[in-house]
A = this chain, B = another copy of it.
Amino acid sequence: MIAVIGSRDAPPDALADAEAVGRELARRGAMVVCGGMGGIMEAVCRGAKSAGGMTIGILPGDNPAEANAYVDIPISTGIGYARNAIVVRTGQAVIAINGAYGTLSEIGHALGEGVPVIGLRTWRLERARAGGVEDTGIIKATTPAQAVELALKAADARIAAWLSGNRLHP
């Protein structure tokens, strides 16, 4: 299961990226989990469905009818944006596409819990550290296909670590 994150309002090229990511994930046998609403979330679900994939939407509200039309399994959390933590935790890896502040909170939650994050034209994050600037752990991708490749590889590594006796979430 790969989480794909991004905002409701997104420029056309980001939506096209999201749709391509969804299609590629489905073709390679991965389920898509996302926030279930519009924009990037809808585009990735549409892409996944066009290639016969399955999609899960972790909704902020309590009404499954709020999910976009390409969500197979709507989870009605009713906990608002606190659901962002659940979206990223439910994936074995995360692909962040473009994105606004909600996406930023999801990147923080993912990296904080050791879920690998692949970024496709998303936030660039730095923090000042003694002796210079430290980059975050976002793994940069330049194409949808590469983002999927990197995400599946990272997810496989986590599952392998888990099968060899370590905890899935480090």
Contacts and interface: CB of A to CB of B under 8 A. Distances in A.
Interface of A: 1, 11, 31, 56, 58, 62-65, 73-86, 89-90, 98-109, 111-113, 121-128, 130, 133, 136, 162, 167-169
The A interface, classified by DSSP as helix, strand, loop or mixed, is mixed
Q: How many copies does the complex hold?
A: 4
A131 to B, nearest CB: 11
Contacts of A82: 78-79, 82-83, 85-86
A143 to B, nearest CB: 15
15 contacts: A11-B130, A76-B86, A78-B79, A79-B86, A81-B109, A82-B85, A84-B85, A100-B112, A101-B109, A104-B104, A104-B111, A105-B105, A105-B106, A124-B126, A124-B128
